[in-house]
Structure 1
């Protein structure tokens, strides 16, 4: 077998794997979006694979009658607060780990990773008791703080890797020309690290958007979208919600996150190009 044949086979195998992965991801999304608007008659018709009759009744009911729209607004607020708090705490920590040498540095990095070892359900009751004592129960800032605790280890590790990739010679040259350490960070390091920080913000947003357990435990009236959807599905006929409502809920859960990722991806690619220039 010559080199050209090997290269062709590798290329075919690669594209086959990519196509399989894409189909594996895309088909469930298409099915969810399609059946979210399918009428009840078409959904239960065994002779129809692709429905021909559509309605927005189920999506409208979940959004406005059952309160999912308020859940969307709460989820956006919580995700934005989580990003802000995580970056306020995580960016300086990541920069310090990347740029400074100090005793126990490796142990601190290991401890940050070890924070994710503890299962959240084990801490649910103590966390709720603490939140009640601090008057943070059923508040959006309380959920944001809990999401920050989950996202912060990853933000610190991601930002430390990003800052480690920015050469220290740039900062040293900036300080030679009169900038302070903070000034060199703000004008040199931070712009170079922005694409990576944007990627970390995307990860933090998706993590907060999809988290359901903590939000369900800590809130009753001010629920985020996943907690609200869980409450709606569990409150319908003892947890046996009709399937078309489940597809409508999946559509409502998926679409905002996909739109955010699409927007953030375009912004990320544009910003990366500017940074490289």
Structure 2
């Protein structure tokens, strides 16, 4: 017992040191990003020291003056539309595959997952030609429709496993009490599946928010639909051939902070939604 008691402080210290290393590994790059975004003039290019100024908010003012607020609006609309479509379709498809007597459901689920493995770059040329003929270039539907096609397989898989983990006896009890299949789904199963739906929504939103390949192809120039990843890649400095490190990092901070805030606020629900689907009953 004495040996165990002596080991406890050492174990706690080693755990604290390990956590400190992990936190430093994760937070120092983000701290450097914020520090660089606040550096004025050419200081961001001349020095990599996080604490060497002068500091100010000039880069943020310059980014917003170039219309970055419109890009944020576009990303929010496209990501939200993609999330709503994916969840609306994914909830119904996931429930059907998990609960209803669907023939060859494993083959269907395998086919759905196989779609997510298809490289998007191979679809860009035909989609671009089709979108040009339909007039969908530089429009919101031209972005959130393909986003939905690529994000939906993962949503269906996550929700199928989550619905399958909900005890079927709860739904059967509602049916015995006189509820219809839709009423049992809407009033009993759907509220229990909220953590999984929430986790799938966050994953879908972040994936659509960060997508670059399709956005740079279908809405590369117009502020009417250009999203933030394309806008950041398009930023230019005041001097030719000079990388605009200050404005790029400022734009990255503006884009990253909301995602970090959402992850911190809803981390318990996200973890619950991702882990509960793996527990049967």
Normalised by the length of structure 2, the TM-score is: 0.84
Q: Indicate conservation of the 8 Å contact 2:98/2:160, yes or no.
A: yes
Question: 1:116: which partner in 2?
Answer: 116
Output aligned runs, 1:78-227, within 5 Å. 78-219=78-219, 220-221=221-222, 222-227=225-230
Q: Does 1:22 align with 2:19?
A: no
**1:14 CA displacement:** 5.3
Distance in 1 (CA, whole Å) between partners of 2:167 and 2:236 is: 51
- Relative to 1, partners in 2 of residues 1:21 and 1:270: Cα closer, same or farther, differing over 3 Å? closer
Gaps of 5+ in 2: 274-281
Q: Aligned equivalents of 2:252 and 2:132: distance in 1?
A: 32
Q: Aligned equivalents of 1:269 and 1:191: distance in 2?
A: 17
Structure 1 residues 48, 30: closer, same or farther in 2, change over 3 A?
closer
Between the aligned partners of 1:166 and 1:235, the Cα distance in structure 2 is 58
Q: Distance in 1 between matches of 2:237 and 2:171?
A: 55
Give the conservation status (yes or no) of the 8 Å contact 1:113–1:153. Answer: yes
The question of whether the paired residues in 1 share the 8 Å contact of 2:235 and 2:248 is answered with no
In 2: Cα distance, 1:33 partner to 1:58 partner: 11
Paired with 1:7 and 1:99, the residues of 2 have a C-alpha distance of 49
Whether contact under 8 Å (1:67, 1:228) holds in the other structure is no
Partner of 1:54, secondary structure, is coil
TM superposition shift of 1:41: 5.6
TM-score by length of 1: 0.85
**Structure 1 residues not aligned, in runs of 5+:** 272-277
Post-superposition CA distance 1:39-68 (Å, at most 9, x none): 23643565954034212111111122x221
The total of aligned residue pairs comes to 269
